[in-house]
Amino acid sequence: MVQIRELSVPDAYEITPKQIADDRGLFLEWYRFDRLEEAVGHSLDLKQANTSVSRRGSVRGIHFADIPPSQAKYVTAPRGAVLDFVIDIRVGSPTFGTWDSVLLDDVDRRAIYVAEGLGHCFVALTDDATVSYLVTDVYNPTREHGINPLDADIALRFPEEAGELLLSPKDTDAPGLAEAAELGLLPTWDAARAFYASLDNGGN
């Protein structure tokens, strides 16, 4: 059993599983396709699974892919803790430029669903923070883009427990939100809505 809550960024959801514990340990359902389909409006056609392991303070993102088809993500942290951010980068969206976050850890074992066309980023709060992703399309480097996670226009708030931030040159060299919009890299609200509607109709 899972509880699903839509975040303040439309088309992103927090998923909290019910954990069943006994003297042997615990059991939980960390992904339920049917419950997520009820919330999102369509099933997920999962095509790839990824895992990252990060030192405390490591920042990964802000990443996104061209839409269509982009890449929806279902993300959880089976070990350690990360603060996971979803950023609305869809030009024309009523919440464009805003973000929300979910703590993913090995205590509450929450997950986050990030729809196609949204930006995704996280910061590791512990060493060996392990993050697993289920995604709806295979990695395509020619369609992948980034936004600088330190961009002042987005103003992500990294918690003190992250310590000193560790970022890759790829992410720090990425444009800010305004520059990415000027370069025509960002998805649009209308294109995202049209793509979601096609999924709701079974891809027809």
Active site positions, annotated: 63, 133
Peptide bond into 62 cis (omega under 30): yes
Structure tokens at 99: 């973000």
Cα separation, 119 vs 145, whole angstroms: 9
72: which strand partners? none
> What is the C-alpha to C-alpha distance for residues 173 and 15, in angstroms, rounded to an integer?
32
Pairwise CA distance, residues 186 & 147, whole Å: 10
- SS3 of residue 199 by DSSP: helix
What span, in angstroms and rounded, lies between the C-alpha atoms of 161 and 105? 14
Rounded Cα distance, 204 and 12, in Å = 23
